[in-house]
């Protein structure tokens, strides 16, 4: 009985910070985040990837052509830390799954003791029959049916910043984009490792060319808050075993 007040106050304690933040922006749209250095984020960590063995640079004869350049002029593609590159996100994901499991089990047991050294009449009441001392039966039926159908389409363009140059020449890119429409703030974040060879001549790269890609698309605001279950419901879903 003493745990009841604690359980009632637990959702309020967990929701304290989030509720205070929501109350502070009643009547105002969500505020956009300030433009900051991605490497200054406490959660940012340098990327470590397997690197090939170091090799001596090849000898290049005197020429106006520079290896790796697509024109005689300066290459405009991202190549150094701080350069910008446009990431083209085009996701078309569709999946349909359907499973069904059926199980039936029946069992019946009976136990009798007609003779036991002639002592059964002394141990059992007169109304009891020693031939049917115990009889059990069981019947179990299980039927499960599951279906999943998902169809997602996301098409976006995002400018990312080169945050790290790996020893083998690959680039680590990271970018964020925020778009506020009325009282809803949409957020897009992209992070991954790219090869300079995969960068197109217009300094763009497709999202499927990113290794260790991390793409997040979500939002904050009134609509997003309404789509989230209440904190008390989330706590009960985590605690209740049934």
**Domain hosting residue 211, numbered range:** 73-96+151-242
pLDDT score at 229: 75
Given a cut of 60, whether residue 99 has pLDDT beyond it is: yes
Domain assignment present for residue 221? The answer is yes
For residues 90 and 161, membership in a common domain is answered with yes
Q: What's the pLDDT tens digit per position in 153-182? A: 878 888 999 999 988 899 999 998 888 887
Is 28 among the domain residues? no
What is the pLDDT confidence band of residue 11, given thresholds at 50, 70 and 90?
A: low
Pair 116, 235 in one domain: no
Same domain membership, residue 82 and residue 202: yes
Mean pLDDT in residue range 66-81: 71
- Asked whether residue 206 falls in the same domain as residue 226, the answer is yes
Q: Give the DSSP per-residue string, the chain.
A: -THHHHHHHHHHHHTHHHHHHHHHTTTSPPPPPPP--GGGSTT--------PPP-PPPP--S-SPPTT-SSSS---S--STT-EEEEEEEEEEEEEEEEEEEEEEEEEEEE--S-STT-HHHHS-TT--GGGSEEEEEEEEEEEEEEEEEEEEEEEEEEEEEEEE-TTS-EEEEEEEEEEETTEEEEEEEEEEE-GGGS-TTSEEEGGG-EEEEEEEEEEEHHHHHHSPPHHHHHHHHH---
Q: Are residues 168 and 112 in the same domain?
A: no
* 82 belongs to a structural domain: yes
Question: Which pLDDT band holds residue 196 (cuts at 50, 70, 90)?
Answer: very high
Residues 119 and 196 in one domain: no
Query: How many separate domains does the chain show?
Result: 2
Of 131, 147, 163, which residue constitutes the final position of a domain? 147
pLDDT number for residue 87: 94
Averaged pLDDT score across all residues of the chain: 77
Q: Are residues 204 and 165 in the same domain?
A: yes
Judge whether residue 14 has pLDDT over 60.
no
Residues 165, 239 within the same domain: yes
Mean pLDDT across 88-115: 81
pLDDT of 133 higher than 80: no
| Same domain assignment for residues 115 and 197 | no
pTM over 0.95: no
Is the same domain home to 107 and 218? no
């Amino acid at each position: 009985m003493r745990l009841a007040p604690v359980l009632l106050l637990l959702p309020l304690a967990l929701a304290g910070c989030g509720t205070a933040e929501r109350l502070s922006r009643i009547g105002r749209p969500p505020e956009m985040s300030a433009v900051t250095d991605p490497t200054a984020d406490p959660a940012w960590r340098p990327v470590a990837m397997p690197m090939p063995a170091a090799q001596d640079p090849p000898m290049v004869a005197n020429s106006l052509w520079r290896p790796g350049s697509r024109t005689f002029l300066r290459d405009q593609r991202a190549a150094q830390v701080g350069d910008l590159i446009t990431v083209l996100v085009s996701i078309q994901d569709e999946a349909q799954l359907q499973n069904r499991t059926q199980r039936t089990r029946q069992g019946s047991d009976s136990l009798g003791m007609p003779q036991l050294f002639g002592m059964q009449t002394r141990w059992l009441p007169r109304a009891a029959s020693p031939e049917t001392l115990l009889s059990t039966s069981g019947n179990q039926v299980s039927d499960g049916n599951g279906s999943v159908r998902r169809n997602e389409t996301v098409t976006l363009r995002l400018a990312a910043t080169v945050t790290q140059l790996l020893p083998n020449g690959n680039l680590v890119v990271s970018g964020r984009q925020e778009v506020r429409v009325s009282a809803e703030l949409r957020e897009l974040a992209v992070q991954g490792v790219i090869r300079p060879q995969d960068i197109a001549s217009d300094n763009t790269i497709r999202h499927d060319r990113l290794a260790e890609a991390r793409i997040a698309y979500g939002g904050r605001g009134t609509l997003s808050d309404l789509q989230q279950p209440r904190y008390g419901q989330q706590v009960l879903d985590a605690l209740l075993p049934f």
